[in-house]
Amino acid sequence: MNPVGVFDSGVGGLSTLAALQAELPTERFVYFADTANAPYGERGDAYVIAHSRQVVEHLLRAHDIKALVVACNTATTAAIHVLRAEFPALPIVGLEPALKPAVATSRTGHIAVLATRGTLASARYAALRDSFAGATTVRPVPCDGLVKAIEGFDSATIAALCERYMAEAGPFGDGPGQVDTVVLGCTHYPLVKDELQRHAPPTLRFIDTGAPVAQQTRRVLTSLGRLADDNSEGGLVLESSGVLAVLEAAAARWLPARSQSAAVPAANAAA
């Protein structure tokens, strides 16, 4: 059975991959990190579209993937409509900040969205906010530098930026005008959720899109008759346009239960 491709600008999509592996343990996955061209979240749409296209072409050519999960909020908002138009035979599942469930669960009517500047400035995010926010107050917090710190395993900078951006997202609480729900609008951010929680009361809810995306991927594969058999053996191939060892280290840290069948460098795949 052909694998499912999973793609992010870096290691953040590992949080989505973990959810996919939990939901679809018999599927084979190829995870591609376009670290040579990251971060996407601080680039323009044309840049993101061009590199996303190159990654998809590589995954189809090298692995003949049966479906693609764009495990990157910025690539989803900037490029998924182009990818779907240019690769119509390829089922593509994207993700976007979980505003709808956040609005539905908030009791105070105040939520914050932690995301990259690119995601928050996109037309797709604006449409999502306008569709679901209603009377809810949505506080956008562009988290410049946090993706880079996570990619670099820079614990001191991660801690400082998490403190800074959580301060901007607050005040937190269950009272009038207080934020009771925070949307993690970038796949990197669930990887540092413990650090974010250090600056929040225990009642604060964090919402990300990993599980819903995994469930949607199951629905898509099932509807197309492409779901792996229950007796199939799942697996994982790791690829990077940058230094593969960095991705392997991230997977070892944030994907401890992974079943890695191979680790293939792809240094020039998305140059």
Which residues are known to be catalytic?
Answer: 72, 186
Q: By the 8 A CB rule, do 166 and 196 touch?
A: yes
Cα dihedral 32→33→34→38 (10° resolution):
160
**DSSP secondary structure string, 198-265?**
TTS-TT-EEE-SHHHHHHHHHHHHHHTT-PPPTTPPPEEEEEESS-HHHHHHHHHHH-TT----EE--
Residue length of the chain: 271
Cis peptide before 39 (omega within 30 of 0): yes
Q: Alpha-carbon torsion 143, 146, 148, 151, what sign?
A: negative
Nearest to 34 by CA among 239, 264, 260, 248: 239
DSSP 8-state class, residue 126:
H
Q: By the 8 A CB rule, do 119 and 73 touch?
A: yes
The whole-angstrom distance between residue 93's C-alpha and the CA centroid of its chain comes to 11
Nearest to 217 by CA among 11, 22, 85, 14: 22
For tokens 């899109």, name the residue.
209
